[in-house]
Structure 1
Amino acid sequence: MNERKPTLRERQRSETRRAIQAHAVRLFTDRGYDAVTVADVADAVGVSAMTVYRHFPTKEDLVLVDQPALLIADRVAASSATDPLVRRVGGALVEAAAALTGGDGDEPAADEQFLLDCLRLMVSTPALRARHLDSQYALQEAVVDALGGTTDPEATFRARAATGACLAAMHTALTRWVDDDGRTGLPDLIARALAASFGHDVIATGRTS
């Protein structure tokens, strides 16, 4: 079955959203998050503040990146249901990081640099930390759903426990990646954090860089 192609209106909306977020993150990085207003972002893009708010209901939303969560959930859903939970989630985290960053530690590409800038803002800005925790909880629930819905409370508990532990390891890797200014490959950092937490066989052979 062919996927429906986005309409012109949908493409224009997506392009406007990307432009707003790119300008916002650049301004936050250059001037500091607290020093930049939504009106400043609107002026930089050449749109009204109302247009910014239509795409991003709050200032904090300008720094959130939805793509990683979608990639991770998709890869978890595609993983083998016979694998251990930690391997399914951990492998998805490494694969999604490789897809987003190219998997190496050379000069970051444009998209990789954008992700790095967003993470740096999340880590360093007190006003964004609570929102970051909210996004991590939403990611955890998305991963649990992708593992396969169940009415068994014990199975759901195990899925949440395994997912939360993997995401904690990933958070440690993301912090290290920010500290290294992206010089160390993110997939490798996540794989190393998972191995330190669960052992070296947590990631299936061939998934790490």
Structure 2
Amino acid sequence: MSLRERKKARTRALIQREALRLFRDQGYAATTVEQVAEAAEVAPSTVFRYFPTKEDLVVIDEDQDFLDALRDAPAELGPVGAVRHAMRVWTAAQSADELAEGVERERLMLTVPEVWASSLKSITGSVTAMQELLARRAGVPMEAMRNRTGAIVGVIFAVWLTWSSSPGSDGPAELDRALAELEVLDTAPAPQVRNAG
């Protein structure tokens, strides 16, 4: 990254960190973009340049690192094993502060209706990208990986709900255990999709 790109990334991270702190301390609805700008020592227009809406201060597209780790997972791993491997790589690359901020964002997504609505597009895109990668790894059409991807996402979402309501718990370890249980069941090859007609 160039010096300018690094500066922009630091500014973006600072704005979001201050927003999350204010949301935690005084509530999402009670916090204004102007207050976020003041806390981050930037102009409100700078906040809007990085985050077009207030909801965007919570929702973050951080899945590319996970998808890269999934793409690079050892070829011999099945779908669940590959996701489990990618989750380990992804969480290991984050600091304790980054993991804590992630939990705070997830709590807000689950408790603030407008943030949840705003995050659905990102979540849907991530699930589709995961399904596509898993299908490519298995050498099957995307449709053949739909149910397995759904089962994996269901496990991730269940742990996400628990972790968001109990921030003191070890979310990554709980997720690894839950995926390990699912991995035991994931031994059959992916089904072939029949063409209609």
- TM tier, smaller: 0.7 to 0.9
**Equivalent position of 1:172 in the other structure:** 158
Q: Is the 8 A contact 1:122 1:132 kept in 2?
A: yes
The one-letter amino acid of 1:131's match is S
**Equivalent position of 2:35 in the other structure:** 40
Structure 1 residue 177 displacement after superposition: 1.3
**Equivalent position of 1:75 in the other structure:** 69
Alignment counterpart, residue 192 of structure 1, candidates 174, 177, 194: 177
Q: Does 1:20 align with 2:28?
A: no
Query: How many pairs were matched up?
Result: 185
**Equivalent position of 1:85 in the other structure:** 79
**Equivalent position of 1:134 in the other structure:** 121
| 3-state DSSP of counterpart to 2:53 | coil
| 3-state DSSP of counterpart to 1:35 | coil
Q: CA RMSD in A?
A: 2.4
% identical aligned pairs = 33
Structure 1 residue 199 displacement after superposition: 4.8
In 1, the alpha carbon distance for the partners of 2:87 and 2:144 equals 18
**Equivalent position of 1:163 in the other structure:** 149
Q: Is the 8 A contact 2:135 2:141 kept in 1?
A: no
Structure 1 residue 92 displacement after superposition: 1.7
Report which structure shows greater RCO (CA 8 Å, sep ≥6).
1
In 2, the alpha carbon distance for the partners of 1:52 and 1:145 equals 34
The one-letter amino acid of 1:40's match is Q
Structure 1 residue 185 displacement after superposition: 1.7
**Equivalent position of 1:121 in the other structure:** 108
Q: Is the 8 A contact 1:21 1:63 kept in 2?
A: yes
1:80-113 deviations in Å (ceiling 9; x for gaps) = 3343222222332243234336xxxxxxx32222
> Normalized against structure 2, the TM-score is what?
0.82
Q: Is the 8 A contact 1:74 1:146 kept in 2?
A: no
The one-letter amino acid of 2:127's match is Q
1:21-53 deviations in Å (ceiling 9; x for gaps) = 011111111111111121221122122221111
| Structure 1 unmatched ranges of 5 or more | 1-5, 102-108, 203-209
The one-letter amino acid of 1:161's match is N
Q: Is the 8 A contact 1:89 1:163 kept in 2?
A: no
> Normalized against structure 1, the TM-score is what?
0.77
- Pair 1:93–1:163, CA change in 2 (3 A): farther
| 3-state DSSP of counterpart to 1:157 | helix
